[in-house]
Structure 1
Amino acid sequence: MNKITLVKRMLYAMAFLSCGTLVYAQVAIGKGSVQNSSISLEFGNENRGMVLPWVTSAGAVAGAVEGTVVYDLSDHKVKVKIASGWKDLSVDLTGTTIDPHNATVDLATIQNDVTTENTDAAVRIGTPTATPGILVLEDANKAMVLPRVASPHLNIINPAPGMMVYDTVAKQLAVFNGTVWSFWKP
């Protein structure tokens, strides 16, 4: 392969990768496609959950809009932003970021030591706006379908702190605070 062809291929690859964070369509993760046109993001049906962003303190999240969901390292709880403040979704008080399989490893320390957060980094699905966040679903007429797991407390072998799924057996939201699952029904 000559140098010109190699340079062209590298330029094409760089151009493709630099555009990779803007997605204007529906996204399926772990499956071929989404179920219908009302879904912006949908996950496959394996025994896996979605791990929420870990933040030092939910109160310190600048510009959080209603519906923002995080795992708060200050008290080891999953929280959602509502009009009056942050609502606790981890009703159990014993949350942790310690790896249950290796009690000497604090996962929060590993996360914070590995790299410095890029506050400009974001993936946006839908029509881009100025809404802050790591993963922002910006469609006004589409929703996200959480990973769907039958009895996650029994079937997810090693859940991560801040994991969220929809329990298909109990028909409810399930969040893991690092120690126990909390379940929410509408």
Structure 2
Amino acid sequence: MNTIKNIITAAVLFMGTLQISGQVAIGKSPTVNPSISLEFGNENRGIILPWVTNTGAVTGAVNGTMVYDLSDHKVKTKYSGGWKDLSVDATGVTVDPNTAADGVVIQNSHDENTNAKVSVGTTQTSDAGILVLEDTDKAMVLPKVASPHLNIINPAPGMMVYDTTAKQLAVFNGTVWSFWKP
């Protein structure tokens, strides 16, 4: 009798969690703002975008997809059917992990699992992506760093943060930071 009661309780708890809207906080206490699906702490760190051989190799990308393009060392976002350059400067540096010459190596040569995907929120699409924020009424809050060009000691190519001093988006291409203000 206790076993049946435990199974029913577990099933009810599991079914109840399916109705909860997903919210994730990384490096901080849980987010309390109901308009946020993903939020980061306030350390001198940023998110590092996926490295791709080139944007032409990215299939199934939807508007808003963001990547670091190894072919020209730029952070790009999918926009109106094309790719918009967020780096501006083309002097970025990355290294093929198989040659391991001077530069920045953060990804290795393991085969990619093209089916890998983490969804935050209510699953609505089958969009390709590693991390897909699914909710249509929530947003991601980037890591917040005051003057990232001064305070992030070893930024990696493809890093992105919100500069709280200048109040703008900052992206790093491996050599220089580019800043975007609305």
TM-score normalised by the shorter chain: which range applies? Answer: 0.7 to 0.9
TM-score scaled to structure 2, two decimals? Answer: 0.82
Q: Any conservation in 2 of the 1:173–1:185 contact (CA below 8 Å)?
A: yes
1:173 aligns with 2:150: no
Aligned equivalents of 1:165 and 1:140: distance in 2?
22
Partner of 2:107: 111
Equivalence for 2:46 = 49
Q: Which consecutive unaligned segments of at least 5 residues does structure 1 have? A: 1-22
Mapped pair 1:86 → 2:83: yes
Counterpart code for 1:75: D
Alignment of 1:7-22 (within 5 A): none
Deviation at 1:35, TM superposition (A): 4.2
2-structure distance, mates of 1:127, 1:25: 7
Amino acid at match of 1:73: L
Aligned counterparts, 1:72-83, within 5 A: 72-83=69-80
Matched, 1:127 2:122: yes
TM-score, normalised with respect to structure 1: 0.81
Counterpart for residue 183 of structure 1: 179
Moved more, 125-134 or 72-81: 125-134
Is the contact between residue 96 and residue 178 of structure 1 (CA under 8 Å) also seen in structure 2?
yes
- SS of 1:111's equivalent in the other structure is coil
1:153 to 143, 149, 159: 149
- Contact 1:30-1:43 at 8 Å conserved across structures: yes
What secondary structure, in the 3-state scheme, does the structure 2 residue paired with 1:154 have? Answer: helix
Output the amino acid matched with 1:149: V
d(CA) in 1 for partners of 2:130, 2:116: 6
Q: Residues 51 and 162 of structure 1 are in contact (CA less than 8 Å); yes or no, is this contact kept in structure 2?
A: yes
Rounded to whole Å, the distance in 2 between the matches of 1:53 and 1:127 is: 23
Q: Which runs of 4+ in 1 moved over 2 A?
A: 103-108
Structure 1 residue 98, shift from structure 2 partner: 4.1
Given the superposition, is the C-alpha separation of residues 24 and 88 from structure 1 closer, same or farther in structure 2, using an over 3 Å criterion?
Answer: same
RMSD over aligned CA atoms reads 1.9
Partner of 1:136: 132
Q: Deviations along 1:120-142, whole A, 9 cap, x unmatched?
A: 01111011221110000000000
Secondary structure at 1:97 match in 2: coil
CA contact (8 A) 1:28 1:41 kept: yes
Identical-residue share of aligned pairs (%) = 74
1:12 aligned partner: none
Q: Quote the Cα distance in structure 1 between the aligned partners of 2:56 and 2:83.
A: 8
Query: What one-letter code is carried by the residue in structure 2 that aligns with 1:136?
Result: V
